Every structure is written in C-alpha cells, then in structure tokens.
Amino acid sequence: MNFELTEEHNMMREMVRDFAETEAGPGAEERDEKEEFPLDLWKKAAELGLAGVTFPEEYGGVGADYISYAITVEELSRVDPSLGVTVSAHASLGSNPINLFGTPEQKEKYLSKLATGEHMGAFGLTESMAGSDASGTRTTAVREGDEYIINGSKIFITNGYYADTYVITAQMDKSKGNKGIAAFIIEKGTPGFTFGKKEKKMGIRASATYELVFEDVHIPKENLLGEEGQGFKIAMVTLDYGRIGIASQALGIAQGAYEQALKYSKERVQFGQTLSQFQVTQFKLADMEIQIEAARNLVYKAAYLAGEHQPVSKAAAIAKVFAAETANKVATEAVQILGGYGYTRDYPAERFMRDAKITEIYEGTSEIQRIVIASHILKD
Amino acid sequence: MNIVVTLKQTFDTEAKIALTSSGSIDDNGVKQVINPYDEYAIEEALKLKEANEGSEVTLVSVGGAGTESAIRTALAMGADQAVLVSDPTLEAVDELVAADILAKAIAQIPYDIILSGRIAVDDGSAQVAVRLAEALGLPSVSSIQKLEITGQSAVATRDIDGGSETIEVPLPAVFTAQKGLNEPRLPGMKGIMAAKKKELKVLTLADLETSAAALNAGSKVTSYSLPTPRSAGKIISGEPAQQAAELAKLLREEAKVI
C-alpha cells in the first residue's frame, strides 16, 4: 500500500493552486455577489488542460489518472467552488458519458473538443418530476426515420446556457420504466432547444444553473448515446464517477474554510491572547483537521479505484457523503471561529458555508448516497 | 537555435529560515522552488523557441538530487531537456565554482543564447551568470527587460538609473533576466505529464573531466546568523499632548531618528 502522491500529482497541485489563487481568487467574491459565470477563467483553465484531465490523449485529453482530476477540482474549489463545479460538471457529467459510452465517431466529433475545453459540456437528468427518482423522466424521445425527436424539459442544469453540448436522458417507452430511457447528445443551437429559467441560488452563485427546454428538437440518430433503453444505466454510471468530482469539490471547500479559520485564529486577539491559544479553538481546529484528513483519504481512495478501473460506486458514494458533510461542518465551524466577521461578506467564510450546502444535494443527495452504500452492503 | 538556461533551486520566498545546531541553514521540510528570476529566463527561452522553429531549450543546473524537482517543473513549462551536475564530493560551492562547473557543462552542448536569472534570491550575489560568460569568453548583458534576436546578433534593453539602455551584442551571448522581462507561464497538465519523459542527464564532476579538488573556491562562508528578532513595541499612555512630547523625546533620545 502506498499513500504517497506522485511527483506529477504534487506539480499539478502546485500549478492548479497557483492558478486558482492568482487568477480565480481576486474576483471570486464579486462573481458570487453578481452571479457572474467565470467564462474567462474557464478558458484559461482549459488552456492549462484542466478541462480534460482524465480523457485519453488521442482525443486531446491529458491522459492523467483520477487522482489528478480530484486534486484539480479540490484546488479550484479551495479558492472558488463555483469554478470547481464548472470544471467538474463539464468533465464528469458532460464529457465522461461520451468517453465511456460513445462510439469512435461520437468521441471524434464531441470528446475531442470537450477534452481540450474548446467546448464545454453539461448533463441533463433532473426534471421537475424526476430528481432522485429518475424513473419519473417525462422528457420523451421518438424515433422517426433517421432522427429522434425530443420534447420536454430539464431543470437545475449546471453549465446550462454556456455549455456547447448536452448529454440528456429521455423516455422512449414509459411501460418499460427505467429500461425505456435513452441518452442523447444535443448541441446548443439545435432548433427547438432553448434555455428557460436561470436559478438564483444560495451558494455556488457564479456557477450557471439553467432549465433546458426541448420543443420538437430533431437530432440525428447518430446522437443516440449507447443503445435505446441504456440511458438510465449511462446516467447511473456517470453519476458514480461524477461523485468523485463533487467529493473533491467538497474537500476543497472544507480545506479553504479551514485555512481561513486557522489564519484568523492566529491573528485575532481576545482577552489578551490569540484565539488559537484558547483550547476551545484548538479543539475546533483539530476536529476540522481530523475530518478533512479522513475526507481526503476517502476521496483519493475512490479516485484511485476509478483510475484502476475497479468498481467505484460504493467508494464514490462513501467519499461523496463524507466529504460533503465534512464541508458543511467545517465551513459552519469556520464562520463560528470568525464570529461576527465570519457572518459578513468581508471574509470568504460565509461564502464557503453557502457553497458547501449544495454538495449534500446535487449528484445524489446524502440520503441517496446512503441508499447506494446500503444497497452494496446488502447485495450479498 | 540552441538556447541554454541556467537554473537554480532556491527556498520558497515565503519560507522561514532556521539554522541547524551546527550553524548551517536548515533545509529540512522547506519548500523549494525555481529561483524566481530564473523563471523569467525560462519563459524568455520558451518564447524564443516558439518564435524560432527547430529551437531547443536545454536547462543546466548544479545542485543536489533535490534540484530535480525544480528541473522537472521547468521541463513541464516546456524546456526540452536538462543537465544536472550533481556530485556527492562537491561541498562548498561558491560563485566561482558554480560558474566554473556550469561553463564546463555548457561547453559540452551547442548554444547560441544563454539565459539566466539576474540574481538568486537565496544568496543574492548576482555573480554566477556573469562569471559564466567570462569563463566561456562570451559577451553578457545583465538585468535585461527586453530581448530581440535578429540573425547572429541580439538587442537587449535594460533599465539604468533614470532611463533605459539598449545594447547590441553578437551571439552567442549571456543574458540575465530582470523582473518585467515577461510573465512566466504555469506548466499545463500536459506539460506536467510530458516532463517525466524528457531527458534529465545527471553528470558527476568526473563526467566533466574535473574533480572537487581541482575546483578552487574563491571565498568561504564562515558563519550564518539570523536577524535579531524585533522586540516588542512600546505604548505611550497619557494625554495627547503628553504622548506627543514623550514620543518626540523617545524618537530623539532612544531611537535617534530625529
């Protein structure tokens, strides 16, 4: 067993941290305030290869392992969780299903642009009647000649509006339930495909969250991803891997909030000593460190398994639920250590606390993660 | 065009300096980086490479095995290969010895332009690159802020007191990079992945047909000392007029600044 990160991992961490601190850090607060999507930062991140860390070199990706990807999302989120999820949703959700299930032609056409970041990807599963329960999918797809015709809508779509390609699920045969669902690749600009409501959110406010609307959208049959009826499976496998991205985002949020609290505790003087000299603060800091260290090990373990092509579903669910709950505990405690200042927008602690909450909700709520974990425990 | 960049690994500029019990600088657990001024040299080399097809950038360094991480970072930025002179028999390396070793290593490879940082942020002597130019019998221009190459000559611009100076030199030549020359790039993900496949040749002094005994240092460090820690400030109490009078008195009599 080897707990050592490679020299490349350390160089990647240093590079992404440098990029995040110098490029993303200064405007993060303002983008949060104005709900402004970090499009320029996305382009710069793509130039550094952050859009396609795990994708094969033959399609323009970096060809690095999943730990490299986890480190990338962690370090971006340590400074700007909105940028972290933009990259994660693009890579894990918008691009990876094409990488995993696409034909060579689909990979050539779509993955080669997604892996370099020339295009941005998004993924549409959730609907108003289908959240944790994908079987409620009401968006429909009907085969007609050489085309599929899509009707319906998707909500809460990360990278919506800004993304160039969307992997979405639609029901083809309601009588078959989940087995009637298929996945499709839809390009932005296809007639009938429009964007609805932009969500105003509590946290990750610089991340774009849109409704997708499909009104008689004709797409070529070549844009079916996998086979008809395979859509639900594609979505579940995509989410299994995607959870590594969100777990990494949560880890980065926890780390960012903790560092803020640690720094402040060494500076703030009350009753003649720094907060860090009070045992009550020391215990808080120690508890944060314990949880972050445990979360990091779980996240990297899941990433390691993904890189080794081993079953990842249970490990990713464990990592995601633990890292998300860690992010929330640590960020809340960080605000507490900063006291009144922590509650103001003068410090990023409150932003981390608002950003943390979503990690317990999207890409499978913490409750769903526990269902996934329990189903693995009880399988035999 | 063959571009050589000399590179030194130094302490991170934010590192806390401590001394060991024997009085040497303690590098235990200290984050090491590429000397920041050498980063400008690397960036300039990469820009020249991009502008001149078929060019190669070779890094040359003297240091311990730890120097390899700084070299890998520079290879990840886009340099093509590296030569590290690392020899366990090499102990005290002053500027004279460092320049001598670099000159011997560079003499073995083709070069048109040699770039270096203006100064290393650790010992701050700003001597090595200039001594290197002397050892190789080349012209050198220090602290450049702009570099243009045309054919077999180079025009460099440097800041001087009250203005700037433009100097033309024939190639090959040595240039040292000043802050402002460029904005060093970050190594991209692909560069990082490619770096480990690039050649990093480690040479001993024997490979350079010399030995520690044959390299004579011109100077020797006798001791290191840390700056005296800042003592606690003094708070003057009383009425404002009293405080001001007391402050003036202390500034004159104790601090002796007025």
Measured between CB atoms, which of A14, A18, A62 is closest to B193?
A62
The residue-averaged pLDDT of B94-109 equals 94
Q: Which residues pair with A195 in a beta bridge?
A: A212
Residue of A nearest to B188 (CA): A48
- The residue among B68, B77, B192 with the most chain A CBs within 10 A of its CB, best to mutate, is B192
Considering only CB atoms, which chain B residues are within 8 Å of A18?
186
The residue-averaged pLDDT of A293-306 equals 97
Measured between CB atoms, which of B69, B189, B196 is closest to A12?
B189
Residue of B nearest to A71 (CA): B189
Which member of A187, A211, A363, A367 is catalytic? A363
Q: Identify the burial level of B21 via C-beta atoms within 10 angstroms of its C-beta, where 0-12 means exposed, 13-18 middle and 19 or more buried.
A: exposed
**pLDDT exceeds 90 at position B118:** yes
- What confidence tier does B235 reach under pLDDT thresholds 50, 70, 90? confident
CB A338 within 8 Å of CB A356: no
Eight-class DSSP state of A203: S
Considering only CB atoms, which chain A residues are within 8 Å of B200?
none
Look at A64 and B189 and tell me if their CB atoms are within 8 Å. yes
The CA distance from B187 to the nearest CA of chain A, in Å, is: 7
- What confidence tier does A8 reach under pLDDT thresholds 50, 70, 90? very high
Look at A11 and B187 and tell me if their CB atoms are within 8 Å. yes
Assess whether A187 carries a catalytic annotation. no
Could you tell me if the ipTM is greater than 0.85?
Answer: yes
Look at A19 and B186 and tell me if their CB atoms are within 8 Å. yes
User: Could you state, in order of their start, the residue ranges of all structural domains in chain B?
Assistant: 2-214, 233-258
d(CA A373, CA A371): 5
- What confidence tier does B220 reach under pLDDT thresholds 50, 70, 90? confident
Average pLDDT, chain B: 93
Average pLDDT, chain A: 96
Considering only CB atoms, which chain A residues are within 8 Å of B196?
7-8
pLDDT in tens, B128-184: 999 999 999 999 999 999 999 998 999 999 989 999 999 999 999 999 999 999 999
The residue-averaged pLDDT of A63-73 equals 97
Considering only CB atoms, which chain B residues are within 8 Å of A64?
189, 193
Look at B189 and A53 and tell me if their CB atoms are within 8 Å. yes
Q: CATH classification of B2-214 is 3.40.50.10470, yes or no?
A: no
- What confidence tier does B102 reach under pLDDT thresholds 50, 70, 90? very high
Q: What are the CA-CA distances from residue B144 to residues A38, A181, B102, B129 (Å)?
A: 36, 64, 21, 13
Considering only CB atoms, which chain A residues are within 8 Å of B188?
15, 47-49
- The fraction of chain B above a pLDDT of 70, given in percent, is 100
Considering only CB atoms, which chain B residues are within 8 Å of A11?
72-73, 76, 187, 192, 195
pLDDT of residue B232: 77
- What confidence tier does A158 reach under pLDDT thresholds 50, 70, 90? very high
CB B173 within 8 Å of CB B106: no
This prediction's pTM:
0.90
Look at B186 and A7 and tell me if their CB atoms are within 8 Å. no
The residue-averaged pLDDT of B5-30 equals 89
pLDDT in tens, A127-147: 988 777 877 899 999 999 999
- Categorise residue A162: left if φ over 0, alpha if ψ from -120 to 50, beta otherwise: alpha
pLDDT in tens, B203-215: 999 999 998 888 8
Query: How far from chain centre, in Å, is Cα B82?
Result: 16
Q: Counting one residue from A and one from B, how many pairs have CB atoms under 8 Å apart?
A: 42
The CA distance from B31 to the nearest CA of chain A, in Å, is: 11
- What confidence tier does A375 reach under pLDDT thresholds 50, 70, 90? very high
Closest CA to A227 of A351, A326, A141, A130: A141
The CA distance from B231 to the nearest CA of chain A, in Å, is: 18
